[in-house]
């Protein structure tokens, strides 16, 4: 099988997998909203807990916190470094050019997220030198 057909088949498979996952999330949200509507119509005591579940990133998991930029940034930087390392190991001029170009985006976005997290954490800490 040629490389282009393998890439096209992998991309198609991943597309259908992602579509299935988002379809399941849509069905889960639809069922939650339907249950919430019925609970509100019946003045149920469980309506409050259903409303709390709406804002969660994953409807069954804990609420998504806003302070996770450091983890996301580290993962993106790691992906960029891994991609750059792979393109260096391949030792092909074409792979090196495309690999380093592809590694540049997640590395820069990850570095920006890490910088943002550092600056927000630094701004939130009390100034120790001001009291001395």
Tokens of 66: 């806003």
Indicate the residue among 60, 79, 96 that finishes a domain: 60
* Judgement on whether residues 74 and 16 belong to the same structural domain of the protein: no
Indicate the residue among 35, 60, 85 that finishes a domain: 60
* Judgement on whether residues 5 and 54 belong to the same structural domain of the protein: yes
Q: How confident is the model at residue 27 (pLDDT cuts 50, 70, 90)?
A: very high
Cβ contacts of 98 within 8 Å, gap of 6 or more: 87
* Judgement on whether residues 98 and 73 belong to the same structural domain of the protein: yes
* Judgement on whether residues 87 and 114 belong to the same structural domain of the protein: yes
State residue 97 phi and psi, 5-degree precision.
-65, -50
Give dist(CA 70, CA 111) in Å, integer.
Answer: 9
Residue 129, pLDDT score: 58
Total domain count, the chain = 2
> Which of 73, 51, 75 shows the shortest CA–CA distance to 63?
51
Domain coverage including residue 6? 1-60
Instruction: With a cut of 80, say whether residue 128 has pLDDT above it.
Output: no
* Judgement on whether residues 87 and 116 belong to the same structural domain of the protein: yes
What is the mean predicted confidence (pLDDT) over 41-62?
69
* Judgement on whether residues 73 and 102 belong to the same structural domain of the protein: yes
Greater model confidence, 39 or 68: 39
Give dist(CA 28, CA 59) in Å, integer.
Answer: 8
Instruction: With a cut of 70, say whether residue 63 has pLDDT above it.
Output: no
């Amino acid at each position: 099988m040629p490389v282009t057909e393998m890439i096209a088949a992998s991309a198609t498979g991943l597309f259908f997998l992602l579509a299935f996952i988002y379809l399941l999330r849509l069905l889960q949200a639809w069922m939650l909203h339907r249950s919430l509507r019925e609970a509100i119509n019946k003045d149920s005591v469980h309506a409050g807990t259903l409303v709390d579940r709406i804002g969660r990133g994953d409807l069954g998991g804990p609420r998504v916190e806003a302070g996770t930029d450091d983890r996301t940034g580290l993962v993106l930087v790691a992906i960029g470094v891994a991609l750059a390392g792979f393109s260096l190991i391949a030792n092909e001029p074409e792979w090196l050019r495309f690999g380093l170009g592809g590694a540049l985006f997640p590395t820069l976005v990850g570095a920006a997220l890490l910088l943002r997290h550092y600056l927000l954490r630094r701004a939130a800490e009390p100034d120790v030198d001001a009291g001395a």
